[in-house]
Chains A and B, each alone.
Chain A
């Protein structure tokens, strides 16, 4: 049984197609990354799964239950962290968790959930109205974990989190996955998806462009990250770097050595081998593959246009969450697992 299965799922608003004929299967127990720029239709798809909106055509099942006809069965088994949510300002964090646990018939205590998301107990005694975006995000995550759901749906879970918070969230996702929970993780930031996901689906303008493993994405899209080494003396061309695991190509441009790799660990190995061979390494830098590169590779769209759209999306994201900068830094395909 698939955790999520959509068939020919389509949602139109008048002439606008938000989700276009999407066939998606998420297996039980996997961490699935749902990647795409803001406005690609990710939230619309998630909304259909929770019967927040009804599809124009096609259907969806969640954990074997029809998302429209068996809504209650779906909701009992799913935990959701929606994007950009406002909670109840006058209630404390504790009260929110009690409500969540009671609603889900969970057996955990509010304290256990607080510890899992790294929210301190003192903060939980205060009304949520005074919380920062990051604290709200952690609390909402804790509520989503109540009742130990079989499927965790996370919509842009890193919004409002600082880099430490993002790492903690990724750790949480791995913990959940280890305990058998399926995680459906939507994001517009490649690095975050690649850091935790087994497989990735890319959504662009409502269409599912591809579904693949992270490895598969790198290979078939031909986009990896590059290590650019400025070499001085020594015969760099005599050193065989392609033999290193994770290195896909070695080129020379303007006297620099350009090492393409898919595994972040290959960087250090390459530098090490050069130094060992007596090559003088003056400087080096890395160029990470970005979501834009990946999109350009898959959709054939003009990378600059995608970049514009994404930058715009990023700005909106910044306003709400401030994740734009970390997004850029972490956007490398291989960068996220460092």
Chain B
């Protein structure tokens, strides 16, 4: 199986990247500082959900998507630019082997990174709370691994689709900026066009569905439901592009269960968040593969 050879070779090379592990080290350091701060007489009695909340704000919003994009964006276009793609072809690997192998390898690297950071979170919970609530931590782990895979797949897809390293970098940075900063105002704009006003505290189901097409929002919405704590995004657009009185725009009020009338429709449940993430794992790389199959590669 040719693609497995490509995957194994690529994994060996990628997992040795010092940059990836320095980002992880910085993250562990940050988590450590917070842990020390909390145990050395912080406010109140922290719970497992608090630690998960901390993880989401540091890793979910920033570390994991950014590292995944870094891990993935050069996967294929880098081989094109260095000329080593010709060597791979000469070694009887075809385009499918290259895309499949790179995809499998980079996702494996990023899953490893996610598991390392998750184990830090698990150790913190054990240290601070004393026990690990598996009912919460298990789904949290699955969602986090899916988030890592989704952004890696997005980056590999971009890498297969683009002709130059700069285009791929632009695509990677653009996708993060687009999701982290622009997606919510964009969806708010759609709501304004459809409904004639900005979304209030109570809003239509489709509005939240549109929001969670962003993998990071899907992740946060699902974790929020899981921990019953609202997980804030990198930028609190909620205060700006939604029409919510300031005193209500906090904590539990913002949970989907409190913003949508009646029972949550299936597409807003935490497991559907996982489905959205899975779609991100599959769709961009499929598009990238489609383009790559048809491209002139010089």
Contact = CB atoms under 8 A, between A and B. Distances in A.
Interface of A: 43-44, 47, 50-54, 71-72, 75-76, 78-91, 95, 99-100, 102-104, 140, 143-144, 146-147, 153
Contacts of A80: 86-87, 89-90
A90 B90 contact: no
What is the predominant secondary structure among interface residues of chain B facing chain A? helix
Contact of A43 (B89, B90, B91, B298): B298
Contacts of A71: 94
A52 B89 contact: yes
7 contacts: A75-B92, A85-B83, A86-B83, A89-B13, A99-B91, A103-B5, A143-B91
B83 A47 contact: no
A54 B87 CA distance: 18
B258 interface: no
Nearest to A81: B90
B243 interface: no
Contacts of B93: 75, 103
B92 A143 contact: no
Contacts of A50: 86, 89-90
Given A54-B296, A91-B13, A83 B83 contact: yes
A311 to B, nearest CB: 24
A134 B92 CA distance: 24
A53 B294 CA distance: 9
Contacts of B83: 82-86
Nearest to A77: B92
B276 to A, nearest CB: 35
Contact of B12 (A95, A102, A103): A95
Chain B: interface size category: 20 to 34
Contacts of A87: 82, 84, 87
Interface of B: 2, 5, 9, 12-13, 16-17, 82-87, 89-94, 296-298
Given A75-B91, A91-B9, 8 more contacts: A50-B86, A50-B89, A51-B89, A71-B94, A87-B82, A90-B17, A103-B91, A143-B90
A103 B17 CA distance: 24
Contacts of B86: 47, 50, 52, 80, 82, 85
Contacts of B94: 71-72, 75
B84 A86 contact: yes
B98 to A, nearest CB: 12
A89 B92 CA distance: 21
B298 A52 contact: yes
Nearest 10 Cβ contacts at the A-B interface? A86-B82, A80-B90, A82-B86, A103-B91, A53-B296, A85-B83, A75-B92, A76-B92, A90-B16, A52-B297
A147 B297 CA distance: 25
A53 B297 contact: yes
B92 A82 contact: no
B70 to A, nearest CB: 16
A78 B90 contact: yes
Given A86-B82, A86-B84, A44 B298 contact: yes
Nearest to B15: A90
A95 B9 CA distance: 9
A88 B9 contact: yes
Nearest to A11: B296
* Chain A CB within 10 A, most for which of B13, B91, B94: B91
A328 B13 CA distance: 40
Nearest to B2: A103
Given A53-B298, A84-B83, A144 B5 contact: no
A75 B12 CA distance: 24
B19 to A, nearest CB: 12
A85 B296 CA distance: 18
A51 B2 CA distance: 17
Nearest to A86: B82
Contact of A144 (B13, B16, B90, B297): B90
Nearest to B96: A72
B214 to A, nearest CB: 34
B89 A102 contact: no
Contacts of B17: 90
Contacts of B5: 99, 102-103
A52 B90 CA distance: 10
A26 B82 CA distance: 29
A140 B88 CA distance: 11
B102 to A, nearest CB: 12
Contacts of A82: 83, 86-87, 90
A75 B2 CA distance: 12
A54 B2 CA distance: 23
B13 A88 contact: yes
Contacts of B13: 88-91
Given A53-B296, A53-B297, A103 B84 contact: no
Contacts of A75: 89-94
Contacts of B90: 50, 75, 78-82, 143-144, 153
A47 B87 CA distance: 12
Contacts of B85: 52
A78 B5 CA distance: 18
A181 to B, nearest CB: 14
B280 to A, nearest CB: 28
B241 to A, nearest CB: 44
Most buried by A among B16, B83, B92, B94: B92
B104 to A, nearest CB: 16
A130 B82 CA distance: 16
Contacts of A85: 82-84, 86-87
B12 A91 contact: yes
A153 B82 CA distance: 18
A143 B87 contact: yes
Contacts of A78: 90
